[in-house]
Structure 1
Amino acid sequence: MNLTQLLVKEMEQEIATTRKMLALVPDDKFDWKPHEKSMPMKNLAIHIAEIPGWPEHILEHEVLDFAAQPYTPSPVSNNKELLDLLEKSYSKGKSLLEKTDDDTLVNKHWKMCMGDTVLADLTKYEALRHSFAQTTHHRAQLGVYLRLLNIPIPGSYGPSADDQNF
């Protein structure tokens, strides 16, 4: 397997867990947050749903500058729209990833900036791996939100405490 094939396989595995987690986000708790410094559940869930689309930014561009292109979250008003956003992001991201080659992944760079401040300067491979890590990180955050609302958590890399009879 080459790097592209490995990344596609990893993306396919991660999306299955992400689907399970996002399916649990209740419409009536979109504005809920566990702490004043936390983002509302809707914002977190939208961010998670958008990350599988990041290969577009990474593979088709050399720089993402938030000063020049401020981020605006995709609009969703319910869980169905959230899951539709995830599928749209995943479909686009996977399609672009499948069309890339190892030379691009290893020898081309991508930067994330805020004006003159460089937030990340990575190979395209490293940037894609970073996006996968972001999915895992934010999915774990969402798991805490759900746990605090007494919503059973599905397993990610094996069964969760809610999947077993403890």
Structure 2
Amino acid sequence: MDTLAQLKSELDSEYQTTRKFFDLYPDDKNEYAPHEKSMKMKSLANHLADVFEWPNTMLKTSELDFGTAQHPTTSATKEDLLKKLDENYKSGIDALENAKEDDLNSTWALKHNGHELAKWTKYASIRHSLNQITHHRAQLGVYYRLNDIPLPGSYGPSADVQSF
């Protein structure tokens, strides 16, 4: 089984779908949040774009500490967000293309100020990041729906896109 080819294929598929969502990003709704405990739309979209870089970080390091890591810059416009997504996707896909199957076996940890939150093999950590893409894009879809922004299809047509 070519695990790296499967991960690359899935990352590419998620990128194509996420790009459709970002093509509809409303610059005038950056500060929108559906609830006081929810992220602002700008923060959510930027985080989603950042996750596409994670395979690179995961393959090149043994851990990430959110409490001490330098936080990525945030984009405030659709144009900047699309550019960030494209760059992060390229970084993630390049890392997978240059990896070897054995690279997926070592461990990688997620920490916050030294406290270990999770520890997986690098394969499992990359799988987790792919799940994060789906999760956060679904959140963004709810934000869009609540703002009457038509949703593109993700894994088939949406209620807003009739293609059958």
On whether the aligned pair clears a TM of 0.5, the verdict is: yes
Query: Which deviates further from its counterpart, 60-69 or 131-140?
Result: 60-69
Q: When the two structures are superposed, what TM-score results if normalisation uses the length of structure 2? A: 0.95
Give the ranges of 4+ consecutive aligned residues of structure 1 lying more than 6 Å apart after TM superposition: none
Q: Name the counterpart of 2:3.
A: 3
Residues 40-59 of structure 1 mapped to structure 2, 5 A cutoff: 40-59=40-59
Identity of aligned residues (%): 47
Which residue of structure 2 lines up, in the alignment, with residue 124 of structure 1? Answer: 122
The Cα shift of 1:73 comes to 3.8
Give the match for residue 159 of structure 1. 157
Deviation at 1:72, TM superposition (A): 2.2
Change in 2 beyond 3 A, CA 1:50/1:116: closer
Aligned-pair distance for 1:74?
1.6
Structure 1 vs Structure 2 CA RMSD: 1.5
SS at match of 1:38: coil
8 Å CA contact retained: 1:111, 1:121: yes
* C-alpha separation in 1, matches of 2:35 and 2:103: 41
Contact 1:112 1:119 in 2 (8 A): yes
Instruction: Give the drift of 1:114.
Output: 1.4
Give the structure 2 partner of residue 83 of structure 1: 82
- In 2, the alpha carbon distance for the partners of 1:52 and 1:77 equals 18
Distance 1:40 1:22 in 2: 15
Partner Cα distance (1:68, 1:13) in 2: 31
Partner secondary structure for residue 68 of structure 1? coil
SS of residue in 1 equivalent to 2:52: helix
Q: How many residues align?
A: 164
Distance 1:47 1:10 in 2: 19
Give the C-alpha shift of residue 116 in structure 1: 3.7
Residue number in structure 1 paired with 2:21 = 21
Show structure 2 runs of 5+ residues with no match: none
